[in-house]
Structure 1
Amino acid sequence: MKTTVNIIGSGFSSLASACYLAKAGYEVTIFEKNKTIGGRARQLQTQGFTFDIGPTWYWMPDVFERFFSDFNKKPSDYYTLEKLNPAYSVYFGKDDFITIEDTLEKIIIAFEKEEPGSSKKLKTFIEQAKHNYDIAIKDLVYNPGVSPLELITPATIKKINQFFSTIKKDVRKSFKNDRLVKILEFPVLFLGAKPSDTPSFYSFMNYADFGLGTFHPKKGMYQVILAIEKLAKSLGVIIKTENSVDRIIVNNKKAIGIESKGTKYYSDVVVSGADYHHTETLLDKSLRQYTESYWQKKTFAPSSLLFYVGFDKKLKNVNHHTLFFDVDFDVHAKAIYDHPKWPENPLFYASFPSITDEHVAPEGKEAGIFLIPLAPGLEDTPELRATYFNKIIKRFEELTSQNVKDHVIFKESFCINDFIKDYNSYKGNAYGMANTLLQTAFLRPKLKSKKVDNLFFTGQLTVPGPGVPPSLISGKLVADLVTKHHKLLV
C-alpha cells in the first residue's frame, strides 16, 4: 500500500509538489475549493474573450524548463511560447513612452538615447545582475529555508554587502535619469516590496527582465496550469475540484488527513498550497506555529484591483504589456506600505494579450486587463471599484490619445474581497509575503510545521517567495522535504 498525500489547493506550487511526489511513488490527491484548478492563475472566459485572472508575465523561462526536465519533458511538449517584442512599454506622459525591446543590445541603445553615457553603466549593472541570477536561481532558491547557513556560500560571502544595501540605492547610484530609474526599479515590484526595502542582491530580477526577456504562452498563462495538470494526471495524481478543506485532522500532534464537505480523507502526509495563515486556522490554536500578531507585523505584497475588459475595436499606442508611470511612484508606494489607503493617483499596468494572441479575443476586438496595486486589507466596495476604473480609463485615454470608454463591451472586476473569498488570502493580498531582508529565505514561514508532524506548506508565503517561478520551486522544495522526512511505504 502506497504512502498517501493530501494536498490543499491547486495553484502552481500545489501542482508542482503533486508531480514531484507522484513521481517519487506517493499516492497524491489534490483538493481544490473552486470549480477550476489553478489558484490565482485561473482563467475567465466570456463572450468570446479569454483572460488570465492572475499572472500575465512569463519570466525566467529556464525555471519552467528545469521543472519540466525533471520529468523528461519540455514546455514545448505542452504549450507554445512566443518571445514578446517589444517586451513592454512604459508611459511617463501623453504620447511619451519608452519601449523595452526583446534583446539587451536594443535596450542598451534605448537607454543611451534617453541618457547619454548610461549604456556603459547598464552593461555593468546587468553583468552584476546576471551573476546574482546565476547564484540565486541555480543555487540559493532551491534551498528549503531551514537554516541561515543555506545563504553562506563562497559566492554569497563575496556579495554580503548586497544583502544590506537596497535596489533603490544601487540603481540611483548609477543612473540619474528618473525615467530609467523607474524602469530599473520596476522588476522588483514582482517581489512584493518597495525598491527601498528590497536587498540589492535581488537585482537578478533585472537580468530576468533585460537578459532573458518576456514571453507569452499561446492562449495565455493558464496553458501552463493545464500543462502541469496533464503531467500530474499522467503520474497518477487525483484532483478533486469544488472540495474546500474545512479541517486538518490531527491525532497525537500528527496530521492524518483532511475533512472536506463533511467527509474525512485520511492520509500519511498533508501538504497545503493554500494561504499559509488560512491553513493554520484549520488547526486548533495550540497547534498553530504563528500568532495573529506575527502575521500583522509582516510586510505583505500588495493586493490588486483588476479589471477584465472587452473592447469592440483594436486599440492603438499600446503593447501587449504596458505600464503607466505618469504619476509619482513614491506617493503610491506610501499608500500601499506606509499608510495603507486607496491611492489618489495610482500607477497602473495594462495587458492586451489579443495584440499578440488571436485566440483570446474575437477578430477586430481587444482583450484588456488593467491592474492597480493596493494595500491589502482595505475597504473594497463596488463604488470604489467604479471610481477607480473611471480614473484609470480617463488617464489611459489621455496618455494614449484615443477614446476607449465608449468601446467597452463589458468589464468584470476582481479585488480584495475576491482574493479573500476565492483564495482565503490573508487581508486579500495578491502576491503573498514580500521579499524584504527580514523576510528572506530562512526568515520566511517554514515549509514544515514545527508543531504538527507530517504537515507541510508550500507557496508564496513560504520559500522562496512570491511569483510563478518561485512557486514552482516551492513545490519541488516541499516535495523534497516530504520524501526526506517521511519514509516511503511500498
Structure 2
Amino acid sequence: MKKNIYIIGAGFSSLSASCYLAKAGYNVTVLEKNSTIGGRARQFIKDGFTFDIGPTWYWMPDVFDSFFNDFNKTTSDYYQLEKLNPGYQVYFDVLESILIGDNLDQICEVFEKEEKGSSVFLRKFINEAKNNYEIAIKDLVYKPGLSIFELITPQTITKLNQFFTTVSYQVRGHIKSPKLIQILEFPVLFLGAKPSDTPSFYNFMNYADFGLGTWHPKGGMYEVVKAMESLAKELGVKFLTNQNVEKIVVNNNTINGLIVNGEFLEADIVLSGADYQHTESLLDENYRVYSQSYWEKKTFAPSSLLFYVGLNKKLENVSHHTLFFDSDFDLHAKDIYDNKRWPDNPLFYASFPSITDDSFAPNGNEAATFLIPISPGIEDTPEIREKYFNLIINRLEKLTKQNIKDSILFYESYCVKDFINDYNSYKGNAYGMANTLMQTAFLRPKIKSKKVKNLFFTGQLTVPGPGVPPSLISGKIVSNLILKQLKLNIDHETTI
C-alpha cells in the first residue's frame, strides 16, 4: 500500500519536495493554512494592480532549470523569462546612481569609471566566485547537513581559508570606493547576514549577480509558484488550503498523524515546510529537539517592512529593481543584527515590475513594492509603518527628482505582525536563519528529527538556507532523505 505523506505549508521548499515525493509514487498531500498557496511568495491584487507579496528577485536561473529538468520539463513549459538590463540600479545621492548591466564587460566599465583599476580586481573576484559557485551548486548545497565531512572535499580543502575570512574583508582589501564596496557586498544580504559575518566562500552570490544576471518571469514570481503547483498536480499531489495544523501526533517516538482543523489525519511521513520553531511547538515538549533558548541565541535573517503601492503615473529615473543606498550601510546593518532597533535612516529597496511587465498595472500606471530590512521581533504598530512610509517616499522624491505623493492611489503595508500571523514566523523573520559560519550546513537545524521517526523539515531554517533557489534545493535534499528512510522501512519490514 502506498505511504501517505503530509506536507505542512505550501512555500517553495514544500512545492519542490511534493514533486519529488509524488514522482517516486507516494500519496502526497500539501496542507496550507492560508487561502492560497505559495507561502511567502503569495500574490496581492487590488484595483488592477498586481504585487508579488514576497520574493521579487529571480537569480540563479540554473537552479530553477535543474528542478524542472528533473521532471523532463523546462521553465519555458510553464513561464517565460526575460533577462533585465540593467539588472538593477543603485542610488547614492540625488540623481546619482550606478546601473548594473547584464554582462561583466559592462559592469567592469562602470567599476573602472568609479575607481581606476577596480575592474582588474573585479574580474579576478568574479572568476573565483564562479569557481565557488560551481563547487557549491554542483555539490555542497545538495548535501543534507548531517556531518562536517560533507564539506570536506578535494575542492573545498583548497579553499579552507575562505570559510574563515569574510566577504567584507575580501572586498574591502581591494576596493576603496564606498559605492563599489556596497554593490559588491549587497548580494550576500540574500543569505541573511552581514557581509562582515559571511564567509568569503559565499562570494559565489556575486557570480549569481554579475555572472548569471537578474531575470524576470513574465507575470512575476507567482508564475513560478503556479508552475510548480501545476507540475505537482500533474504528478498527483493534492493541495488543501485553509488547513490549520494544530498538533503533530506521535506514538512510541514515531509519527502517527496530524490534527488539522480539529480532525485527525493519519500519516506515515510528515514533512514541515512551515517555520521550524513553530513546527516543533506542535509536538509534545519531550519530542522537541531545540529549546526556546536555542532559538533565542541564533542569528536570524531580517524581517521586513513592505509597502505595496499603486501609482497613477509612470515614474522616471528608476529601474525595475532599484536600491537606495544613500544612507549608512553599516549603521543600518548594526541596527538589524546588533542593536535590534528601528533604523533612523534605513537603506531600502524598490521594485517597479510594471516598467518591464504591463500585467502588473493598468496602462499608464505604476506598481511599486518597497522593502526596508529590519530586525525581527521589534515593535510593529500602524504609527511606525506610516512614519517609515512617509520617510522613504520623501527620499524617493528627493533622489529621483519627481513628485510621487500626489500620484499615490493606495498603499498597503506588511510587517512583523503579518509574518507571524500568516506564516507563524519566529519573531516575524522574513528570510529564515542567517548563513553565518556557525550556522552553515551541518550547524543548521537538522532536516530529520532526532527524536521523532518519520518527521522531517525543509525550508529557510534548515539546509541549505535562505532564498528561493536554496528553498527549491532544500525540497530536493529532504525528499532524497525521506525516500532513503522509506526504503529502510520497507527493507526492515521485509526482513521481519
TM-score by length of 1: 0.99
Counterparts of residues 72-471 of structure 1 (less than 5 Å): 72-471=72-471
The one-letter code matched in structure 2 to 1:157 is I
Separation in structure 2 between the aligned mates of residue 408 and residue 131 of structure 1, nearest angstrom? 46
The one-letter code matched in structure 1 to 2:22 is A
SS in 2 for 1:2: coil
Give the superposition deviation at 1:10: 0.2
Separation in structure 1 between the aligned mates of residue 258 and residue 6 of structure 2, nearest angstrom? 7
**Which residue number in structure 2 is paired with residue 484 of structure 1?**
484
SS in 2 for 1:308: strand
**Which residue number in structure 1 is paired with residue 39 of structure 2?**
39
Separation in structure 2 between the aligned mates of residue 94 and residue 258 of structure 1, nearest angstrom? 56
**Which residue number in structure 1 is paired with residue 54 of structure 2?**
54
Q: Deviations over 1:3-33 (max 9, x none)?
A: 1100000000001000000001111000000
Separation in structure 1 between the aligned mates of residue 457 and residue 415 of structure 2, nearest angstrom? 25
SS in 1 for 2:40: helix
Q: Deviations over 1:347-368 (max 9, x none)?
A: 0000000000011100000000
1:7 aligns with 2:10: no
Q: Deviations over 1:243-296 (max 9, x none)?
A: 011111111111121111111111110000000000000001110000000000
Give the superposition deviation at 1:222: 0.2
Q: Deviations over 1:403-434 (max 9, x none)?
A: 00110000000000000000000000000000
SS in 1 for 2:173: helix
SS in 2 for 1:7: strand
Separation in structure 2 between the aligned mates of residue 255 and residue 438 of structure 1, nearest angstrom? 30
Give the superposition deviation at 1:175: 0.6
Separation in structure 2 between the aligned mates of residue 348 and residue 423 of structure 1, nearest angstrom? 23
The one-letter code matched in structure 1 to 2:345 is N
Separation in structure 2 between the aligned mates of residue 443 and residue 34 of structure 1, nearest angstrom? 31
The one-letter code matched in structure 2 to 1:371 is L
Separation in structure 1 between the aligned mates of residue 244 and residue 15 of structure 2, nearest angstrom? 16
The one-letter code matched in structure 2 to 1:110 is V
The one-letter code matched in structure 2 to 1:406 is D
Give the superposition deviation at 1:486: 1.5
SS in 1 for 2:63: helix
The one-letter code matched in structure 2 to 1:6 is Y
The one-letter code matched in structure 1 to 2:342 is W
Separation in structure 1 between the aligned mates of residue 408 and residue 173 of structure 2, nearest angstrom? 44
SS in 1 for 2:21: helix
Report the aligned-residue RMSD: 0.8
The one-letter code matched in structure 2 to 1:299 is T
Give the superposition deviation at 1:151: 0.2
Separation in structure 2 between the aligned mates of residue 49 and residue 253 of structure 1, nearest angstrom? 49
Separation in structure 2 between the aligned mates of residue 149 and residue 297 of structure 1, nearest angstrom? 25
Q: Taking every aligned residue pair, what percent have the same amino acid on both sides?
A: 68
SS in 2 for 1:174: coil
Count of residue correspondences: 490
The one-letter code matched in structure 2 to 1:176 is K
Give the superposition deviation at 1:384: 0.2
Give the superposition deviation at 1:480: 0.3
Separation in structure 1 between the aligned mates of residue 17 and residue 247 of structure 2, nearest angstrom? 21
Give the superposition deviation at 1:123: 0.4
SS in 2 for 1:486: helix
